[in-house]
Amino acid sequence: MNYNKKSVEEIEVRGKRVLCRCDFNVPTKEGKITSDKRIVAALPTIEYLIKNGARVILCSHMGKPKGEWKPELSLKIVADRLSELLGKEVIMAADVVGEDAKAKAAALQDGDVMLIENVRYIKGETKNDPELSKELASMADIFVNDAFGTAHRAHSSTAGVADYLPAVSGYLVQKEVSIMGKALADPDRPFVAILGGSKVSDKLNVINNLLEKVNTLIIGGGMAYTFLAAKGYGIGKSLLDEEKLEYCRDMMAKAAEKGVKLLLPIDTAIVESFPSPIDAEIEVAYCGCDAIPENMIGVDIGPESCKLFAEAVKEAKTVVWNGPMGVFENPTLAKGTIAIAQALADSDAVTIVGGGDSAAACEQLGFANEITHISTGGGASLEFLEGLELPGIACLQDK
């Protein structure tokens, strides 16, 4: 994958109608936005376009309307919040590529901003329907992709329109590609990757790809117990991906062959049963990973593992982290995840946190400002780490 893509600053936008794909898939409750983080993240690109006299046509999805018009998934609340943040009116279209959107796009003046309706109201969006891509492109002169969170999807508004318009990256996508791209293509070493989360199967290709690139690979979270079982340890009632035991053995052999240090937990937090509800108070005990009792479940890395992993992070020059170390939704079982977040915050290395749960953990725990880069896309950052080509980035013009 070529990470050297043209940015919005490398194309003339003055007087041009610019279709800008953002990620406005914000969480809502009772018709109100509960976090405007994604809207705020899009501001630098939108403000650049306004300042440089573009006629801005914003588009995004929200939720999964599956081709149906669902009023509760309308982007009107985003337009209202964006108007407040920009200090100017964001014109809201009543449709996606219908008469209203087209008329409003045609009437835009330099520096005006409009938002079309939820692109997933149209069935063809998620199928990358060329007809929809053409309709979207017909409203604009330039396409800017600033939605890294959907860059792994080949949809009409993320990739299809680039078949019909010159396409460049916004600041958000540019930052993701330059920081994560460099980490994978040319990292400062030692390069340490930390993977967590529940299932080995979710990270099969990521592990395989990272073993080609890293100096140290740390594995925690639920997936670690399948690796421990593959080593011949008894893991009690801990999460086990039985079909992946052979794969884990292959990966451990590959690490040894490549001279990659593969670190697994050496101790673990154990409980008799999962907390219910998930954040309920719970008693935990700790034991060595080679001594998990048959009736117990491993739910987090233990204090010795925290120290071991933090030591590896301390020696690193580049660190990539994706996935929590335990059931971090429960405060008692979040200690391993907190320790990793703290280790990254204390590190002088380039520290990158893949989206999803690990990003949420860093933000909830107040470490966000201490991390070099927190990715805005869970699925996209995972596919990036797999070494896959992301359609929403591949479609952009090369420098």
CA–CA distance, 350 with 337 (Å, rounded to integer)? 19
Phi, psi of 205 (to 5 degrees): -75, -25
**Is 38 a residue of the active site?**
yes
E strands, the chain, are 17-21, 28-29, 32-33, 55-59, 90-92, 113-115, 142-145, 167-169, 191-195, 216-219, 261-263, 267-271, 285-288, 297-301, 318-322, 350-353, 373-374
**Is 199 a residue of the active site?**
yes
What type of residue sits at position 273? S
**Is 221 a residue of the active site?**
no
Residues 6+ apart with CB under 8 A from 169: 5, 6, 7, 8, 144, 145, 146, 177, 393, 396
* Segments in 92-218 forming alpha helices (H): 99-107, 130-138, 171-185, 204-210
Phi, psi of 63 (to 5 degrees): 65, -160
3 state SS of 33: strand
Radius of gyration of the chain (CA): 23
Catalytic residue among 53, 98, 111, 379: 379
CA 126, distance to chain mean position in Å, is 19
Residues 6+ apart with CB under 8 A from 364: none
Catalytic residue among 38, 55, 120, 244: 38
Nearest to 111 by CA among 21, 41, 17, 23: 17
CA-to-CA dists, residue 106 to 15, 20, 36, 139, 165, angstroms: 12, 16, 29, 7, 17
Catalytic residue among 356, 377, 378, 392: 356
**Is 379 a residue of the active site?**
yes
CA–CA distance, 150 with 393 (Å, rounded to integer)? 10
What type of residue sits at position 387? G
Yes or no: say if 145 and 21 are a contact pair by the CB < 8 Å rule. Answer: yes
Catalytic residue among 102, 134, 199, 258: 199
CA–CA distance, 38 with 56 (Å, rounded to integer)? 18
| Residues with active-site annotation | 38, 199, 356, 379
